[in-house]
Amino acid sequence: MRQHHRLFSVIVCSLIIWNAAVPCGWAASDTEQELRALRQSVEALKQTLQTQQALIQRQQARLETLERQAAAKPPEPSPATPPPAPSPRPVPSSGLGQIGAVLPEIGAVGDIVANSSETSADTEGHDRISARELELVVGSYVDPYSRFDSTVAFSDFEAVSLEEAYLTRWGLPWDVKARFGRFFPRVGKETSTHRDSLPTVDEPFVLKNFFGGDGLHRTGADLTRPFQGPAGWVLEPSVGVLEGGAGDGSVTFGSNRRRPVVYSHLKTYKELSDLSGFELGLTHLVGAGPNDHGFQVNVLGVDATYIYHVTPINKLLLQSEVYVQDRGGASSTNADTGKVTHFDQHPWGLYLLGDYRFAPRWSAGLRLDQVRPVDTAATRSVDQGISAFLTFYQSEFARWRLQYEHETNEGRKQDNAVLLQGTFAIGTHKHSIQ
């Protein structure tokens, strides 16, 4: 309390001194000089405040040390004595001391990609260096029951995109956790992962084609709750309702956002040892197709992930996802001729991925892709790809990745591409639990 009084006195004195120091004819002085003087004064006040806060924290820590040591010293048991109350000292959540407790966590992740490709198409990112994405991440606890997280993505070849803006609510009946807003639904494995956490430069073909080039982030609500299953398995079912449509470039669902997409996912996890674990997930989505005839498109998915820490440094990741769609009655009618074209009822796709961290700063991997895309023309095609990638971890917050990608499209030209990606994070950077 005394420290607070002292702090208050220092601030008041500083204000008085500053006020007295301002010349009477200030109104007549130049606006820029006034602003500069004000800024300097504010900076001086900030420094004083920080110094005082540091002093208060040091004194509190010292006081608690003395209290704890005094409590811990007597070795004699005294069961009859009631235990001393724990001393409450709030721990600052950032280097700004207690100010950090009210400020949101702010971070930015830059994703710069250089792409050299054989394709002649002048589309996004080909044969140039592009700032593919700058994610501005802001999040904080709202109150004891909820947290708000948001991610705004900027890019040098597309509009600003609101990737996430959702509230997480805990403490609901039956320990259910709810999300409300715009988020990545818990669909499969990589679909629900931020780009900076992916093991490759780009998303697998099947995910790009089915859920969009920049991932499936939709507005809606979902519920989840983990619980202990049989034989040591952890089960985590999730259900959610999302707005209609899918991600950028995807044609899985129709573009009518009023037609909801309902998703469900069951994550199962088995801890095999301290060093390894296996995860198996099942996904189902149902929504409207391009013709907007109710729930006519079903997507089923299975994902599997195996992680083995060979040593504390060397880590093996094996991952795969398979998706198949049931597009009931997918067809289109030519308005002029009346001819009906039936599209592929069961487009499907999968990828297999392996990544091995063979040194503290290096990992290498391989990904195989195959997808029979959702077609909106009568042509059928199967896209196949093989990608090899090498990652260099410059530090915890900076990473470089070189990827070679060979793609073959049925009935079309082959394409070879080399991609170099730099990913850099500043500010608060958290990885959500996968």
Q: What is the C-alpha to C-alpha distance for residues 198 and 214, in angstroms, rounded to an integer?
A: 12
How far apart are CB 162 and another protein at their closest, in Å? 20
Could you say which of 81, 123, 334, 337 contacts another protein (CB under 8 A)?
A: 81
Interaction between residue 335 and another protein (CB under 8 A):
no
How far apart are CB 163 and another protein at their closest, in Å? 18
Q: What is the C-alpha to C-alpha distance for residues 269 and 253, in angstroms, rounded to an integer?
A: 30
Interaction between residue 79 and another protein (CB under 8 A):
yes
Interaction between residue 76 and another protein (CB under 8 A):
yes
- Which positions from 372 through 401 interact with another protein, judged by CB under 8 A? 395-397
CB 344 within 8 A of CB 380: yes
Which two structure tokens, joined as six digits, stand for 94? Answer: 């950032």
Could you say which of 89, 342, 346, 380 contacts another protein (CB under 8 A)?
A: 89
**Toward another protein, which CB reaches closer, 386 or 426?**
426
**Toward another protein, which CB reaches closer, 101 or 114?**
101
Q: Binding string to another protein for residues 140 to 159, with x set by CB under 8 A, is what?
A: -x--xx-x------------
Residue by residue, DSSP assigns 276-310 as EEEEEEEEEEEE--TT--SS-EEEEEEEEEEEEES
How far apart are CB 143 and another protein at their closest, in Å? 10
Interaction between residue 255 and another protein (CB under 8 A):
no
Could you say which of 8, 26, 157, 170 contacts another protein (CB under 8 A)?
A: 170
Interaction between residue 102 and another protein (CB under 8 A):
no
**Can you name the residues that pair with 130 across neighbouring β-strands?**
113
Q: What is the C-alpha to C-alpha distance for residues 355 and 315, in angstroms, rounded to an integer?
A: 8
Interaction between residue 433 and another protein (CB under 8 A):
yes
Interaction between residue 31 and another protein (CB under 8 A):
no
**Toward another protein, which CB reaches closer, 177 or 257?**
177
Residue by residue, DSSP assigns 98-163 as GGGGTSPEEEEEEEEEEEEES-----TTTTEEEEEEEEEEEEEEEETTEEEEEEEEE-SSS--EEE
Applying CB under 8 A, what is the total number of residues that bind another protein?
68
**Toward another protein, which CB reaches closer, 126 or 225?**
225
How far apart are CB 324 and another protein at their closest, in Å? 25
Q: What are the distances in angstroms from CA 86 to CA 65, 120, 178? A: 12, 69, 33
- Which helix (H) or strand (E) segment holds residue 388: the answer is strand 383-395
Interaction between residue 171 and another protein (CB under 8 A):
yes
**Toward another protein, which CB reaches closer, 33 or 87?**
87
Could you say which of 27, 31, 32, 95 contacts another protein (CB under 8 A)?
A: 95
Interaction between residue 411 and another protein (CB under 8 A):
no
- For residue 385, count CB atoms less than 10 angstroms from its CB and return exposed for 0-12, middle for 13-18, buried for 19 or more: buried
Which two structure tokens, joined as six digits, stand for 58? Answer: 């040091």
**Can you name the residues that pair with 139 across neighbouring β-strands?**
105, 149
* Torsions phi, psi for 259 (to 5 deg): -85, 110
Q: What are the distances in angstroms from CA 54 to CA 2, 51, 60? A: 15, 5, 10
Residue by residue, DSSP assigns 181-201 as EEE----SSSTTS-GGG-SSS
Interaction between residue 86 and another protein (CB under 8 A):
yes
Residue span binding another protein (CB under 8 A) among the ranges 67-75, 152-160, 319-327, 401-409: 67-75
Q: Binding string to another protein for residues 267 to 286, with x set by CB under 8 A, is what?
A: x-x-x--xx-x-x-------
Interaction between residue 230 and another protein (CB under 8 A):
no
Q: What is the C-alpha to C-alpha distance for residues 276 and 278, in angstroms, rounded to an integer?
A: 7
Q: What is the C-alpha to C-alpha distance for residues 167 and 147, in angstroms, rounded to an integer?
A: 6
Could you say which of 29, 94, 331, 333 contacts another protein (CB under 8 A)?
A: 94
Interaction between residue 84 and another protein (CB under 8 A):
yes
Q: What is the C-alpha to C-alpha distance for residues 347 and 252, in angstroms, rounded to an integer?
A: 10
**Toward another protein, which CB reaches closer, 277 or 354?**
277
Residue by residue, DSSP assigns 226-268 as -EE-GGGEEEEEEEEEE-SS-STT--SS-S-TTS-EEEEEEEE
Interaction between residue 231 and another protein (CB under 8 A):
no
Interaction between residue 75 and another protein (CB under 8 A):
yes
Q: Where does this chain bind another protein (CB under 8 A)?
A: 58, 61-62, 64-65, 67-69, 71-73, 75-87, 89-95, 141, 144-145, 147, 168, 170-171, 173, 175, 177, 226-228, 234, 236, 267, 269, 271, 274-275, 277, 279, 309, 312-313, 359-361, 395-397, 426, 430-434
